[in-house]
């Protein structure tokens, strides 16, 4: 089946699994777009009856210069002059359809809201009015269809040149409904701004990615199945439990290097021109896992994936996502640089 050497299923859950996602998507690497269906299983863990849902729509922060994130950047994002972007290098995400499993179609009950700054051009939070209230402790299953276009790399998400992609915060993600500082319960689901941090409930992710068979993929969790579709595409299915997000990467020229440490499969995706640096990465990860085990706590997951972007995609590097981290090297790094 092409499944990797790791078992992603825990005997007992490590979290309360409030928000769970089953996503099936197809990557069009030429158009830089995905088309996807998404099933969300969400538990109302509050004492309130909930009549409205909120989703976080990160990619819409990169739709144009009017979003709250870009306005707050004062023209500079990671040293890039944002005003010089051409139209086709922006990105977006759009929900085409949303239905309650076995119930109402909510597609025409959605609207973008701006709870933090009232900027009506900002589309980073989507509000959905339910037809009927969701009672405390009840579970809701939503069936969604969405599309997204990746921007040229901006604030780490996106594509570089023709063929390198990093997908982070790339799907409509449920906000968190919890007890707020005020003591009241409510949505902790904020617009994307310069100084906000990502926040989500823990859950289980099943993500199946259909892409051209020349592309090498890496993702959160473990590869659990691989299917050749006979049309030049392969569907790769990944599973990860008890995380708050799911990230993935695609690039034809990754060299894949793997190593075991105790229960952990270490998987490094590194461009061919950097691959001699592989052992340095693998040793650093091994030593980090060992140190954490001794001084902090055991790394609970069965796999960690390290992505070393090609130099032209370095703006996507140096960041952490659940069970997947991006780093960064350059060809010719001397031995004494660690």
User: To 5 degrees, how large is the angle CA 172–CA 174–CA 177?
Assistant: 160
The pLDDT tens digits for 310-334 are 999 999 999 999 999 999 998 888 8
Contacts of 103 (CB under 8 A, 6+ apart): 131, 132
Q: What is the mean pLDDT of residues 252-277?
A: 96
Q: What is the pLDDT of residue 330?
A: 87
Q: Has this prediction a pTM greater than 0.85? A: yes
The least confident of 64-68, 146-150, 294-298, 302-306 is 64-68
Length of the chain: 338
Q: What are the angstrom distances between the C-alpha of 233 and each of 177, 210, 212, 246, 327?
A: 39, 6, 4, 22, 28
Q: What is the pLDDT of residue 79?
A: 67
Q: What is the pLDDT of residue 48?
A: 98
Q: What is the pLDDT of residue 337?
A: 78
Q: What is the mean pLDDT of residues 277-286?
A: 96
**Average pLDDT of the residues of the chain:** 94
Helix (H, G, I), strand (E, B) or coil at 48: coil
Q: Is the pLDDT of residue 74 over 80?
A: no
Q: What is the pLDDT of residue 106?
A: 98
Q: What is the pLDDT of residue 85?
A: 84
Round to whole Å and give the CA distance between 239 and 8.
Answer: 6
Q: Is the pLDDT of residue 26 over 60?
A: yes
Q: What's the distance, CA 277 to chain centroid? A: 26
Q: What is the pLDDT of residue 187?
A: 97
């Amino acid at each position: 089946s092409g499944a990797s050497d790791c078992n992603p299923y825990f005997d007992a859950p490590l979290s309360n699994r409030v928000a769970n996602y089953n996503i099936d998507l197809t990557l069009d690497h030429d158009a830089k777009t995905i088309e996807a269906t998404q099933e969300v299983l969400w538990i109302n863990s509050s004492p309130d009856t909930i009549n409205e849902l909120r989703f976080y729509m990160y990619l819409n922060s990169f739709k144009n210069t009017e979003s709250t994130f870009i306005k707050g950047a004062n023209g500079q994002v990671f040293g890039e002059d944002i005003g010089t972007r051409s139209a086709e290098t922006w990105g977006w995400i759009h929900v085409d359809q949303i239905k309650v499993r076995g119930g109402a179609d909510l597609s025409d009950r959605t609207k973008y809201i701006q709870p933090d700054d009232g900027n009506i051009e900002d589309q980073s939070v989507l509000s959905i009015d339910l037809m009927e209230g969701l009672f405390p402790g009840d579970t809701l299953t939503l069936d969604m269809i969405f599309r997204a276009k990746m921007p040229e790399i901006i604030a780490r998400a996106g594509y570089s040149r023709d063929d390198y992609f990093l997908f982070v915060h790339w799907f409509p993600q449920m906000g968190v409904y919890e007890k707020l500082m005020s003591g009241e319960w409510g949505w902790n689901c904020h617009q994307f701004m310069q100084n906000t941090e990502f926040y989500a409930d823990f859950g289980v992710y099943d993500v199946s990615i259909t892409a051209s068979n020349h592309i090498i993929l890496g993702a959160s969790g473990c590869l659990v199945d691989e299917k050749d579709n006979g049309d030049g595409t392969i569907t790769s299915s990944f599973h990860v439990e008890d995380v708050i997000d799911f990230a993935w990467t695609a690039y034809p020229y990754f060299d894949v290097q793997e190593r075991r440490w105790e229960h952990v499969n270490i998987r490094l995706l590194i461009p061919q021109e950097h691959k001699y640096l592989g052992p340095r990465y693998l040793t650093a990860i091994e030593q980090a896992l060992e140190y954490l085990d001794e001084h902090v706590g055991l790394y609970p997951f069965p796999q960690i994936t390290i992505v070393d972007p090609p130099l032209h995609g370095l703006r996507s590097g140096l960041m952490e996502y659940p069970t997947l981290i991006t780093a960064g090297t350059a060809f010719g790094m001397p031995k004494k640089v660690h």
